[in-house]
Each structure stands twice: as C-alpha cells, then as structure tokens.
Amino acid sequence: MANGNSFVIRGGNELFGKVDLHGAKNAVLPMLAAALLTKEEVIIEDCPHITDIDNMVELLREVGGEVFVEGRKIRVRGQARTNKISSRLEKTMRSSMFMLGALIATVGEVRLSLPGGCNIGARPLDIHIDGLSKLGAVCEERDGTVICHAKKLVGAKILLRYPSVGATENLILASVLAKGKTTLINCAREPEIVSLVELLRKMGAKIRGEGTSVMEIEGVDELGGASITPVADRIVAGTYLSALAITGGELVLRGANKKDLRTTLSAIGNVEAYADGIALHARAKRPRENEWLFEQVACDLTTGPYPLFATDMQPLLCAVKCFSSGTTVVRETVFENRFSHLREMQKLGANVRIEGDVAYLSKGDLHPGEMVANDLRGCAGLSVFAMGIEGESRVVGTKYVDRGYENFEENFKNIGCDILRE
C-alpha cells in the first residue's frame, strides 16, 4: 500500500482501456465473518487488496480463526473461540459489527466497542441489537461498548424498521445456527447480500428469499466448508463510469454486472454501455463546448436502499453533475452528514447549495485547486471531479480511498489519467 496522503491530478485526459473488477468489499467483509461459523475451511476468491480487508483478517485471527491470504484468495479455517477483539481494530472500520452475529452464534457472547469507519453520520446499531434480542440474546450498550450474550438462539419473526444492509447480514449470520425458523421482514436486498447467502447455502445453511424484502432462515446444527467468488464491486465499477462520464473515452469493465449498475447508468445519463456477458463496454464522447454523445443533463435523485440509488454512489454522481449546465437536486436519505465532498468541490468553482439533506449543484466556473477528503467515497468523488478539470489539482486524504479501492491511482493511470500519489 502506498504511503503518500495526497493525489496530484492533472485533469483533462480521456480514459481508454480495460479494467478488471475485484470482488465487492461489501460482500467479502461479511463473508469473512461467516467463515467463523464453521470449523471447516472456507475459501473466498478474488478479494480486493484494501485496508478494510486487511483489518478484517486481523479481527478473525484475534478471535481464533486461522486465516491465510494467498494473493486474492483468502482461506479461513477454524470456528471462533473467543469474544475478545482489539478496540483499535473495531474503531478502524464499521465492518467489525459483523462480529456481533458471528460471535453470538458461536461463542455465545460478544463485547464490541461501537464501530468506527467513515465520518458520514450516525450509524447506530439499534436495528442489529433489536433483532438479536428477538433471537434470544441479551444486549446492552454501556460506556461505548455493545455487550451481548445468549445461552442459545431461537428463531423468530423480526421486522426491521429500516432495510439496513448491515443489520440484515448480521441477523442472517446469527440465525443460520439458531433453533427453528427465522423470518426477516423489510430486510435489505442488495446484491452483496445475495452473494453472502450463496456462500452460506454452500456451507449448508437453509435460506430462502434473498434479493427480496422477506427472507426465511431455517436453523441448522452445523455448517461446513465452501468456496465462493463474490459478486463484483458495483461501487468501484460506478466510480470508473463516473470518471468516464466526466472525461470522455471508452472503457471495458471486466466482471461488471450491468443489472447491478442500472440505476447508476440511468442517473449518469451520458454514458453509452452494453454488456457482452463477461464485461461492460462503456463510452462517452469527450466534452467539447458542452456537447456529449448523450447530453450531460441534470437530474433529481434520492438515495435509498437497493434497488434505489446507492448512497455510496452519491459523491460520484455529484462529481459528474458538477459538469452539467443544469441544476441537479440530490436528496440524501441514508446518512445525514454525507455532503462534505460538495463543500470541497465548491472550492474549485462548482455551484453548490446545501439545505439540510438536499443539495443543489451545477457546473459553475471550474478551476484546479486543493480539496480535502473526509471519507472513502468522498475521496473517490473528489478525485473523479479533479479528473475533469484542466490543470493540476490535489486531493488530500488518500487513506480513505485505500479502504475500498485497490491501487486507485495505478489503475486510473493505466487507463490514461495523469495521477500521482505523494
């Protein structure tokens, strides 16, 4: 992993070439937690080399799992044996929350410091805790620590007040070894959840309804080993599509699933794309006097649970729409503090107005400059934004992008971007 904390980007280059997409970060992380549910070996292929995965591997080792990283393959062997987790690792990443479901199902107790991650708003664990309580766990929050214990878990009917991805995945992990049937109502439907269920089913879990708002899990006595290749990372794919929309050019995204990207492509608007079964071919005309292959138009957009527009794509879409002559309206309904990137884009001339959870944005008189990232997707959005501005810009905060993108600058450099980490 590179050590520099800034990207220096000289914008204005078209992007051409092929990109291989790795497995989705948001699928691999819960899969690693799921591997603790069995004593047998679980193999996850095509994992990205990112810091969130590195930290999750450390977490698994701390609770007793044997973990072997072999290139993009991660092998996990051995059920969890302890509930002790380093608070340093917990606070580094939000995905330590998956230890709630995995550990309560195996060792029967977990003490977890409130998880960290990106500063994009409050992300409480109340939906997780409510669901685990219905399965028979006794849970409480005390002095910044979540404490859960259970002698046994029993299936239950659980209505989620919001289709939280993390809570849905956590409750799946907890219920696959519970006694009896669990029904999750108003659960999340993301492709990464479908991918997680595919692994668990290979391990012997009995699950129905993934990809819908109601799932049924019949608990089993034990799970076995399995091997899985997770779904490709749709947010990484959307990042390349956003950059292409701004710069023009032609890209082939190998492994991309066009179905998972339909809301992104629809919102971006000026990228022509077709799938050949194993890759997504996308192109956009280089902007000249505001003329595009497909007109770069403003839009009204609201983020929400899948299949609505993903909140993780919001900073990337904002970058794209800051090159539109019309006014785009973005309503952020998932996280209340996810517009910090817009204030940075404003420094470089973007027309931005923020009113609570709604942002209004259009092009303005753009010029190069320095921007500071405060979160993972914000850093990606600022970098993509800089790629469309003639001259040299700097994006500070590369530590964030390393959490979710493998070799961000090298991969963009390989398709024509003038980008350097320093």
Cβ of 61: how many Cβ atoms within 10 Å? 13
Cβ of 284: how many Cβ atoms within 10 Å? 27
Reduced 3-state DSSP string for 42-110: EEECCCCCCHHHHHHHHHHHHCCCEEEEECCEEEEECCCCCCCCCHHHHHHCHHHHHHHHHHHHHCCEE
Best CA proximity match to 14, nearest among 287, 247, 290, 359? 247
Q: Contacts by 409-415 with C-beta closer than 8 Å and gap 24+?
A: 409/2, 409/7, 411/19, 412/15, 412/243, 412/383, 412/387, 414/17, 415/15, 415/16, 415/17, 415/18, 415/19, 415/240, 415/249, 415/251
Q: Which of 47, 118, 187, 417 is catalytic?
A: 118
Respond yes or no on whether the N-terminal peptide bond of residue 48 is cis (omega within 30° of 0). Answer: no
Best CA proximity match to 103, nearest among 199, 154, 173? 173
Q: Is 322 a catalytic residue?
A: no
Question: Measured between alpha carbons, how far is 140 from 112 in angstroms, rounded to an integer?
Answer: 11
Q: What is the DSSP letter of 113?
A: E
* Contacts of 326 by beta carbon, 8 Å cutoff, 6+ apart: 297, 298, 362
For the annotated catalytic residues, the residue numbers are: 118
